[in-house]
């Protein structure tokens, strides 16, 4: 009776399990006609080249990969960019951020077009805390904060996750070049030169005030 049980167990339990194990160990092959080979991009950096140098040479950054892989959705919410030409420091983004990853800092040097008595403050953000919800972009009354298609914010250093307003402005120029040129031309028409050349430091403003007081 015991021998019969062993034979039945071998036939109906052990052998089927061994067969399944052998099938699992086999490499999974996808035929060339499978749709997944055409639609899914598992390694986008392999399809991105810059000249004769592949991306995996480490000479290129992920921004170079982004330029040559236009497969991202137009609704993709990536790194935040700031248009400093329109920002007025109203703090709407800072007040409405649910994760409190946006902080207002004083712009130094100050743009000359900001001729008000109080200094201009720009937002800076901590990307390690951002969940890319898009609330700051929606509440901005001057349409100067934008989610781009950038995705290369990963870093092993904590300080690299802090994006000041200059970094946010660079992201705006890089990921939204058409809008940047349009806003830049409009700014030049109103103020005579681009915002990069229309800056004044606190020391310059203090010296001008001293000279004016001396003349009086």
- pLDDT tens for residues 170-216? 999 988 889 999 999 999 999 888 888 888 876 554 544 444 444 44
State the pLDDT at residue 156. 81
- pLDDT tens for residues 155-173? 888 888 899 999 999 999 9
The pLDDT-based confidence of 35 (bands split at 50, 70, 90) is very low
**Count of beta carbons in the 10 Å neighbourhood of residue 115:** 7
State the pLDDT at residue 139. 93
Asked if 93 and 123 count as a contact pair (C-beta separation under 8 A), the reply is yes
Which of 103, 122, 92 minimizes the C-alpha distance to 195? 122
Asked if 46 and 71 count as a contact pair (C-beta separation under 8 A), the reply is no
Distance of alpha carbon 147 from alpha carbon 161, whole angstroms: 16
Domain ranges for the chain: 77-203
Which of 77, 79, 124 minimizes the C-alpha distance to 104? 124
Which of 121, 132, 126 minimizes the C-alpha distance to 77? 132
Q: What's the DSSP call for residue 196?
A: G
Please identify, in words, the CATH class of the domain defined by 77-203: alpha beta
State the pLDDT at residue 73. 73
Q: pTM for the whole thing?
A: 0.62
State the pLDDT at residue 150. 84
State the pLDDT at residue 31. 46
When comparing pLDDT for 15 and 77, which is higher? 77
Distance of alpha carbon 79 from alpha carbon 145, whole angstroms: 10
Cβ density class 82-111: b for 16+ within 10 Å, e for less:
bbbbebebbebbbeebeeebbebeebeebb
- pLDDT tens for residues 62-89? 555 555 555 667 788 889 999 999 999 9
When comparing pLDDT for 14 and 162, which is higher? 162
- pLDDT tens for residues 102-161? 999 999 889 888 877 788 999 999 998 999 999 999 999 999 999 988 887 878 888 888
Flag the least confident range among 15-19, 40-44, 159-163.
40-44
């Amino acid at each position: 009776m015991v021998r019969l049980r062993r034979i039945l167990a071998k036939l109906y339990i052990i052998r089927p399990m061994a067969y399944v194990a052998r099938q699992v160990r086999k490499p999974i092959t996808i035929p060339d006609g499978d749709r997944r080979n055409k639609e899914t991009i598992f390694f986008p950096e392999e399809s991105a080249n810059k000249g004769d140098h592949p991306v995996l040479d480490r000479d290129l950054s992920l921004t170079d990969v982004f330029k040559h892989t236009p497969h991202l959705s137009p609704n993709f919410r990536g790194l935040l960019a700031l248009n400093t030409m329109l920002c007025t420091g109203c703090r709407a983004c800072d007040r409405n951020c649910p994760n409190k990853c946006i902080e207002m800092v004083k712009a130094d040097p100050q743009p000359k077009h900001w001729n008000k008595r109080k200094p201009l403050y720009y937002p800076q953000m901590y990307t390690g805390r951002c969940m890319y919800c898009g609330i700051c972009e929606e509440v901005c009354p001057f349409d100067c904060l934008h989610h781009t298609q950038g995705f290369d914010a990963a870093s092993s250093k904590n300080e690299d996750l802090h994006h000041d307003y200059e970094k946010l402005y660079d992201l705006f120029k890089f990921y939204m070049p058409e809008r940047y040129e349009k806003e830049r031309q409009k700014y030049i028409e109103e103020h005579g030169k681009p915002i990069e050349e229309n800056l004044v430091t606190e020391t310059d403003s203090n010296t001008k005030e001293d000279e004016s007081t001396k003349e009086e």
